[in-house]
Structure 1
Amino acid sequence: MLPKRQTVDLDHVPSKARKFVFVLLPEFTMLCFSAAVESLRIANRMANRQLYDWTIISEGGGEVSCSAGVAFRVDSDLVELNRDDVILICGGLDVQSATSKRLLNWMRREARRGSTVGGLCTAAYSLAIAGLLDGKRATIHWENQDSFAEEFPEVDLTKSIFVVDGNRITTAGGTASVDLMLKIIADDHGEELAGAVADQLIYNSIRTDQDTQRLSVPTRIGVRHPKLSRVIQMMEQNIEEPISPSILAQHVGMSTRQLERLFRRYLNRSPKRYYMELRLQKARNLLMQTDMSVINVALACGFASPSHFSKCYRAHYETTPYRERGAHASRAVE
């Protein structure tokens, strides 16, 4: 016989369920969406009453396929909503193409009426292009941070897993939807209910908006050497104006030769080579995610001339920056 399900007694329950409106963009990330909805569903179950309600909509009101190819049937087109509804735009791959003029106009209209508007995963781009994040703190998936920062300097971009700034919400994607929803549930109905939802999700480490997206440098590179980690962190923070290996070595109290040996031992490459790969990785992100000219991409990644940039890019990726961008544009159209 199964054990009786535990519920959480709430001191105060609103007479009306709080409503969330999920707007699915083409090729949205299923995990971000499902994690958010499941958190709300479980909150209702643990409270043994309807605390939250939700509806799913899309532009045109037809089926929308997520990035994994699964098709979702939605409830309606982009309709006028109640002011108290919480709107969450669900983004994913190629969010630029998925953000249409009609969607932008609809978002602006609902925002003018006072609605809370949020973006899950890459949908922070949709909010930013609509002007809804101007002067606001926000976040977006780490893979899109470089291009976002270049395109929207008026947004205070953070590396947090989620950000709530007034009536604007953004998340970094993935399981960050769970953390966001647990915060909302805790704010609405208390920590006990949020904890019960986390337990049901087998989620034993609830993160806050103070937690950052990416793993620490030692965890990412699989090496726990404090001086190596500090040097890599400095490299990642100084892409546009690279720091010479000798200066990097001085900052951590080493000689240039010692730094060379450290990188060779743990990463099987020189500091100069590792730094170059970081810069080229950022350049590739900018080429594929923005409309920046190749010259501006080169400058943003610390290359003094387009010819040097092109030469280094070809050596690493076996194609030129121009061909990379053209190939990406062709794949997006297909």
Structure 2
Amino acid sequence: MSRQGEIIETKDAKPRRFVFVLMNEFTMMCFASAVEALRIANRMADKNLYEWRVVSVDGQPVISSAGVVFKVDAGLEDLCRDDSVMLCGGLNIRAASSPKLVNWIRKESRRGSSVTGLCTAAYTMAKAGLLDGKRATIHWEHHDGLVEDFPDIAVLNSVFVVDGKMITTAGGTSSIDLMLKFIADGHGEHLANAVADQLIYTSIRTEKDSPRLSIPSRIGVRHLKLSNVIQTMELNLEDPISPAVLAKDVGMSTRQLERLFQRYLNRSPKRFYMEIRLQKARNLLMQTDMSVINVALASGFSSPSHFSKCYRAQYATTPYRERGVKAELPAT
């Protein structure tokens, strides 16, 4: 029933069942956002449109990335072909993608179930071969790693991607957007909008929307030419473009570009470009098995020694030690 007391008419159909697989160190946001949208849809429609079951690889409680322990209903089990598998990923996704889990989702997808990877779980799907030749998305911190590890996947910068029965999201609140799409497709936009209203979710995103804040929002500056230069930098990390060419492309002199970066970002264009290239390198070191030399090349460094020197100056450690100390970057 809606807040105004009206019953929202929905199609009569068997409840759709979602099976949420909580992976070790999963992020609570992606899981809770999805379940809450389904719960509210049932409440607003005043009928059981959706059912869900929560499982883990071994049937034991799972610790989330925030350290909260979640009980589950069961371990991995055979599903009905109409069930929707929802993989809830998070930190250390490579370690969480165990052979048992990978084999299970591969088997269930062959039986006809749709498979959704929330947050970083697109990696697990890719490891199972479910995304070969398909479009997908993943949390933006893991984008570069997925591209390098699985070149046959078209990795998009989208909130979510639906490619047949294989579905992926970019983490965080993107679970809400995906669930609202499911609700709209199954029972109409009126119900989806009512659920969004209950969630105080005022801007429903689609597959065409980017999961990241716009460049002006990220840097806290609304300057068109500065934003355009930064966008060009982010699109050309493997083959860096000189400040002179960047300046010319936006109709400025190199000196003007230098002053622009100093004024708004308190660093030179060269320094800023170096920082985002090193951030990509750090992502690749922690998320892939690429050699340090290949990481350097993928981040625009032609000399391993120069790469190591710059990396040490930025992060106070060497690329080799970084890989040995930490396994992965966090995801939200």
Question: Does the TM-score normalized on the shorter chain lie above 0.5?
Answer: yes
Structure 2 match to 1:13: 12
For the residues of structure 1 that align with 2:6 and 2:66, how far apart are their CA atoms?
A: 34
Residue in structure 1 matching 2:238, options 233, 236, 240: 240
Residue in structure 1 matching 2:187, options 176, 181, 189: 189
1:293 aligns with 2:291: yes
For the residues of structure 1 that align with 2:159 and 2:280, how far apart are their CA atoms?
A: 20
The answer on whether the counterparts of 2:215 and 2:231 sit within 8 Å (CA) in structure 1 is yes
Residue in structure 2 matching 1:151, options 122, 133, 149: 149
Structure 2 match to 1:306: 304
Residue in structure 2 matching 1:26, options 15, 24, 27: 24
For the residues of structure 2 that align with 1:6 and 1:151, how far apart are their CA atoms?
A: 52
For the residues of structure 2 that align with 1:128 and 1:4, how far apart are their CA atoms?
A: 42
Q: Give secondary structure in 1 for the equivalent of 2:326.
A: helix
Alignment of 1:83-162 (within 5 A): 83-162=81-160
Aligned residues: 329
Per-residue CA distance 1:214-273 (angstroms, 9 max, x = gap): 111111101111111000000000000000000101100111111111111111111000
The answer on whether the counterparts of 2:244 and 2:254 sit within 8 Å (CA) in structure 1 is yes
For the residues of structure 1 that align with 2:281 and 2:83, how far apart are their CA atoms?
A: 39
For the residues of structure 1 that align with 2:186 and 2:303, how far apart are their CA atoms?
A: 54
Alpha-carbon deviation of 1:56? 0.5
Per-residue CA distance 1:54-97 (angstroms, 9 max, x = gap): 00011110100110111111111110000000001000000000
Relative distance call for 1:291 and 1:7 in structure 2 (3 A) is farther
Relative distance call for 1:285 and 1:331 in structure 2 (3 A) is closer
Residue in structure 1 matching 2:33, options 32, 35, 43: 35
The answer on whether the counterparts of 1:7 and 1:47 sit within 8 Å (CA) in structure 2 is no
> Whose RCO is larger (CA < 8 A, sep 6+)?
2
For the residues of structure 2 that align with 1:79 and 1:196, how far apart are their CA atoms?
A: 34
Q: Give secondary structure in 2 for the equivalent of 1:147.
A: helix
Q: Which segment is superposed worse, 73-82 or 5-14? A: 5-14
The answer on whether the counterparts of 2:10 and 2:188 sit within 8 Å (CA) in structure 1 is no
1:22 is aligned with what amino acid? F
The answer on whether the counterparts of 1:29 and 1:67 sit within 8 Å (CA) in structure 2 is yes
Per-residue CA distance 1:274-310 (angstroms, 9 max, x = gap): 0000100110111111111100000000101110100
For the residues of structure 1 that align with 2:189 and 2:275, how far apart are their CA atoms?
A: 44
For the residues of structure 1 that align with 2:80 and 2:179, how far apart are their CA atoms?
A: 20
TM-score (norm 1): 0.96
Alpha-carbon deviation of 1:6? 2.9
For the residues of structure 2 that align with 1:310 and 1:137, how far apart are their CA atoms?
A: 34
2:24 is aligned with what amino acid? P
Per-residue CA distance 1:182-201 (angstroms, 9 max, x = gap): 00000000011001111111
Structure 1: give runs of 5+ residues left out of the alignment.
none
For the residues of structure 2 that align with 1:194 and 1:278, how far apart are their CA atoms?
A: 38
The answer on whether the counterparts of 2:92 and 2:328 sit within 8 Å (CA) in structure 1 is no
The answer on whether the counterparts of 1:7 and 1:48 sit within 8 Å (CA) in structure 2 is no
The answer on whether the counterparts of 2:283 and 2:328 sit within 8 Å (CA) in structure 1 is no
The answer on whether the counterparts of 2:139 and 2:171 sit within 8 Å (CA) in structure 1 is yes
Per-residue CA distance 1:164-194 (angstroms, 9 max, x = gap): 1110110001010001000000000001100
Ranges of 4+ aligned residues in structure 1 off by more than 4 Å: 329-332
TM-score (norm 2): 0.97
Percent same amino acid at aligned positions?
A: 67
Structure 2 match to 1:319: 317
Alpha-carbon deviation of 1:11? 5.0
Q: Give secondary structure in 2 for the equivalent of 1:87.
A: strand
Structure 2: give runs of 5+ residues left out of the alignment.
none
Residue in structure 1 matching 2:261, options 247, 257, 263: 263
The answer on whether the counterparts of 1:6 and 1:46 sit within 8 Å (CA) in structure 2 is no
Alpha-carbon deviation of 1:5? 6.3
